[in-house]
Chains A and B, each alone.
Chain A
């Protein structure tokens, strides 16, 4: 066995042993522990868990590569997937903590005193989570297959077994503490190669600063060199944007609001003891997330420079070793169109001879920079950690929605705690199996459906929850009408362009030049407008609901005589 494989096996194996150990230590004994870890997670731990929950296989493996090929436009992901935490921290998290129940449908159902509203919320939560989790299971399989030379299917099954362990036995409590460990693994795995490469190229130890610094042995900065190389070979300058401004605006907004509306993120704020802890853990979470997100564009810029300088216009016989290794996986492909034996990397598809998958940027990073073998093993463990932690968080939302919101709150309110816990465990087990099935047989449209999940979260939950807190007069008629209108228009638009008439999916046919990815923003606006208009023409919510709203707005009620 070669040394890279040995290191990968050791590091991934150790990380798995750690996760299982935590799962055994943190078994859940009650529904409260299973759903929200007993509401006793310290803010620092919750911040790390939220960050791991949030950062998926896509953030870890694909994002830097996306940015490397999008240049400045990659900012839609950077701003979109971090800015939502400002909305969460300022508009939702503290109040939902004060509300103090278990789930998002709990809030929607109680605040709008309606089982219809609860049902709409349950369907959205389950749909959004399943769409997301299929991609995560696939991600686990891909990481395994690339680093350990096993079939993707076997990788998915190994991932299922691990998640099954701590999600089914530990519930939220088990998930939270494994996520803390997974965050440490993944951030270490992300930063180490980035720091090495920054030192190598610029002598600056901070990659976030380094990608603006001067390249060693030249008088050009990284970005100047990149702009020069890009335009020389026909690409747009790296620091300029190609997407229309309105689309950048709407996509960023949809991702932000979608982030704030994703049930597996929101539910993390139910797990801390107090309102002030909710604020604090939102801060920790964003700090931990930005640590990775601010490094991603640096990795992107360094990797793109490396690509131009080590592969472009080079004899195929003389390419570095990593190129040949990754060629076997199909992630890089060289097609010698003019038969000169030299790799030409160009923007013009007629003469371009190099096809590069975005995932290569992170996966091959350590090899491109000639880093030691253990770093490569570390990146593998980091990728698996990112995928597993997100998958577990999503599976929990699914099992909670079924056991708590559907069975307990809607069908059989008199059920005992013990029985509810058992149903929660069984539905978590089923969810793992269904997610694994989709991981092994992925529907062909995973990429499009992720945009769909964000769009739906933006168009349904965010307005419903925000109005529920900030607009006391909002009633069930308004909220339900708003959610249904927002979901309907977003679904119609996305389904039309990405499934039915894919031939029309281009800027001249889009409404106001807004791509399906950015349409969640329109859905959100529609939801707000419809909800407010309908509520004006219908009866105000009952007295006790208005009191509920007054209560969640303050962290603590004063006692008599205080």
Chain B
């Protein structure tokens, strides 16, 4: 493949990953912690109403996991396309 097409394909995959991860980001914070918080509060987790837990704990843990996944998949993608730095 030409360098230009390679870069294009790489960028497209990157956008897909970012799109999926940002959807999870939105659902964990604005979804579970804001929009559906009252509905989720009827369930309990470790002594916390679930919505409250997402608003004050869970969303932050999800954020950490999102960045960890992003780091792993992007490092793999860099290698796959030969764009990784030595």
Interface size on A, residues (CB 8 A): 51
Contact of A558 among B45, B52, B60, B82 (CB under 8 A): B82
Contact of B49 among A89, A239, A286 (CB under 8 A): A239
Give residues 17-58 of B contacting A (CB, 8 Å).
18, 21-22, 25, 29-30, 33-35, 37, 41, 45-49, 52-53, 55-57
A90 x B29 contact (CB < 8 A): no
| A318, B75: Cα distance in complex, Å | 62
Knowing A79-B55, A279-B74, A294-B57 touch, does A554 contact B7 (C-beta < 8 A)?
Answer: yes
Residue of A nearest to B41 (CB): A239
A287 x B64 contact (CB < 8 A): yes
Give residues 286-326 of A contacting B (CB, 8 Å).
286-287, 290, 293-294, 297
Residue of A nearest to B55 (CB): A75
Q: Does A137 contact B (CB under 8 A)?
A: no
A249 x B67 contact (CB < 8 A): no
B56 x A276 contact (CB < 8 A): no
Q: Which residues of B contact A562 (CB under 8 A)?
A: 82
Q: Does A10 contact B (CB under 8 A)?
A: no
| A245, B10: Cα distance in complex, Å | 39
Knowing A287-B64, A290-B60 touch, does A209 contact B78 (C-beta < 8 A)?
Answer: no
B70 x A286 contact (CB < 8 A): no
Interface string of A251-268 (1 = CB under 8 A from B): 011001000000000000
B47 x A221 contact (CB < 8 A): yes
A554 x B10 contact (CB < 8 A): yes
In the assembled complex, how far is the CB of residue A520 from the closest CB belonging to chain B, in whole angstroms? 15
Q: Which residues of A contact B66 (CB under 8 A)?
A: 86, 90
A555 x B83 contact (CB < 8 A): yes
A90 x B21 contact (CB < 8 A): yes
Q: Does B80 contact A (CB under 8 A)?
A: no
A85 x B85 contact (CB < 8 A): no
| A91, B74: Cα distance in complex, Å | 13
Knowing A85-B63, A294-B60, A554-B10 touch, does A280 contact B71 (C-beta < 8 A)?
Answer: yes
B55 x A72 contact (CB < 8 A): yes
A79 x B48 contact (CB < 8 A): no
Q: Does A78 contact B (CB under 8 A)?
A: yes
In the assembled complex, how far is the CB of residue B28 from the closest CB belonging to chain A, in whole angstroms? 9
Knowing A86-B22, A212-B47 touch, does A279 contact B71 (C-beta < 8 A)?
Answer: yes
Q: Which residues of B contact A556 (CB under 8 A)?
A: 78, 83-85
How extensive is the interface on chain B, given as a class?
A: 35 or more
In the assembled complex, how far is the CB of residue B59 from the closest CB belonging to chain A, in whole angstroms? 5
In the assembled complex, how far is the CB of residue A87 from the closest CB belonging to chain B, in whole angstroms? 8
Knowing A83-B25, A221-B47 touch, does A239 contact B52 (C-beta < 8 A)?
Answer: yes
Knowing A212-B48, A245-B35, A294-B57 touch, does A83 contact B63 (C-beta < 8 A)?
Answer: yes
Q: Which residues of A contact B83 (CB under 8 A)?
A: 554-556, 558
Q: Does A248 contact B (CB under 8 A)?
A: yes
Q: Does A208 contact B (CB under 8 A)?
A: yes
Interface string of A86-103 (1 = CB under 8 A from B): 100111001000000000
Residue of A nearest to B22 (CB): A90
| A550, B9: Cα distance in complex, Å | 12
B52 x A89 contact (CB < 8 A): no
Knowing A86-B22, A212-B46, A212-B48 touch, does A283 contact B85 (C-beta < 8 A)?
Answer: no
| A562, B10: Cα distance in complex, Å | 16
Q: Which residues of A contact B30 (CB under 8 A)?
A: 249, 252-253
Q: Which residues of B contact A256 (CB under 8 A)?
A: 29
In the assembled complex, how far is the CB of residue A472 from the closest CB belonging to chain B, in whole angstroms? 10
| A290, B1: Cα distance in complex, Å | 43
Q: Does A74 contact B (CB under 8 A)?
A: yes
Q: Which residues of A contact B71 (CB under 8 A)?
A: 89, 276, 279-280, 282-283
Residue of B nearest to A284 (CB): B67
Q: Which residues of A contact B34 (CB under 8 A)?
A: 75, 245, 248-249, 252
In the assembled complex, how far is the CB of residue B77 from the closest CB belonging to chain A, in whole angstroms? 10
Knowing A86-B22, A283-B71, A286-B64 touch, does A558 contact B84 (C-beta < 8 A)?
Answer: no
B70 x A90 contact (CB < 8 A): yes
Among B41, B46, B67: residue with most chain A CB under 10 A: B67
Residue of A nearest to B24 (CB): A86
| A256, B30: Cα distance in complex, Å | 11
Interface string of A509-532 (1 = CB under 8 A from B): 000000000000000000000000
Knowing A556-B85, A558-B83 touch, does A286 contact B55 (C-beta < 8 A)?
Answer: no
Q: Does A223 contact B (CB under 8 A)?
A: yes
A550 x B29 contact (CB < 8 A): no
Q: Which residues of B contact A74 (CB under 8 A)?
A: 56
In the assembled complex, how far is the CB of residue B47 from the closest CB belonging to chain A, in whole angstroms? 3
Knowing A83-B25, A249-B30, A252-B34 touch, does A293 contact B85 (C-beta < 8 A)?
Answer: no
Give the 8 A-B residue pairs with the shortest CB-CB distance, closest first. A212-B47, A75-B55, A212-B48, A221-B47, A297-B56, A279-B71, A283-B67, A89-B67
16 more CB-based (< 8 A) A-B contacts, given A72-B37, A554-B11 = A75-B59, A82-B63, A90-B22, A90-B67, A90-B70, A214-B47, A222-B47, A223-B48, A241-B37, A253-B30, A275-B85, A279-B71, A286-B63, A290-B64, A553-B11, A555-B85
Interface residues in chain B, defined as those with a beta carbon under 8 Å from any beta carbon in chain A: 3-4, 6-7, 10-11, 14, 18, 21-22, 25, 29-30, 33-35, 37, 41, 45-49, 52-53, 55-57, 59-61, 63-64, 66-68, 70-71, 74-75, 78, 81-85
Q: Can you report 13 A-B residue pairs in the complex whose CB atoms are below 8 A from each other?
A: A78-B56, A82-B59, A86-B25, A212-B46, A222-B47, A239-B52, A249-B35, A283-B64, A283-B67, A294-B61, A553-B7, A555-B78, A556-B84
Interface residues in chain A, defined as those with a beta carbon under 8 Å from any beta carbon in chain B: 67, 72, 74-75, 78-79, 82-83, 85-86, 89-91, 94, 208-209, 212-214, 221-223, 239, 241, 245, 248-249, 252-253, 256, 274-276, 279-280, 282-283, 286-287, 290, 293-294, 297, 550, 553-558, 562
